[in-house]
Amino acid sequence: LELELGQLGLAVADDARLIRSQVVRCRDVLDQLGVDAGNSRGSALETVSVDDMIVQSLLGVSGADRVDVTLDAAVRQRLLPGFRSTLVQTLRGVLRNALDASPDGARVSLRGTAMNGAASLVVVDGGAGMDATTLARATEPFFTTKGVGRGMGLGLFLARSVLEQLGGGIALSSEPGRGTTVTLTIPSVPPTSRAAAPSSAGSPPAPASPAPAPTAHSHAAVSPTASPTASSPDPPLETS
């Protein structure tokens, strides 16, 4: 009886840790989405290249060496306006799901293409696949096909919420015995849009007022002007 109680205590502790980690993840995502609702806790919108997002998404992922990445030239440096950390977390969650669903040693593919002003990222796993009923519920919150203690069923739900907030979307296709394909569509802009945003109403900034002429009792202040430094491009992602 004591052994059974001890095992139960370990199981409860594992569940509690899992719940806590998922709550923290949800809080981070909601903090980022709070920008559009005027929540001061959210961080400002920024852009991240497709290359950079994929590199960051694979960091710290167990089995990342099993992911085969192929990017079309047209999509590699396209910019994704949004919340950098949230986009990274979204793709990372989908990749982890694909790796978890695939047998040990099986490859997972990630292919990126550009289409109609958006970046399309397609993740294909080698898992058991899903029937129509399971597939229809796959993006519901707290729905999971993973074993006890391996997931809370929030990954695809959060991915859908984030992408729809940005004007994109997520699509799943699957059949029993044929794995699952997850397609992420994210609005994107060409790399030339990395330039600074124009001033309000699209008008050029007003010219600076001329400095007052020096007098016998004053000295004209001269501030050195730093020469602009071009930002280095994002490092290219090695593709298979």
What does the pLDDT average to over 147-161?
69
Looking at residue 44, its pLDDT comes to 58
What does the pLDDT average to over 139-165?
72
Instruction: Dump the DSSP string for 170-184.
Output: EEEEE-TTS-EEEEE
Mean pLDDT of the chain: 73
Q: Is the pLDDT of residue 202 over 60?
A: no
Task: Identify the residue with better confidence: 224 or 189.
Answer: 189
Q: For residue 24, what are its two tokens?
A: 């923290």
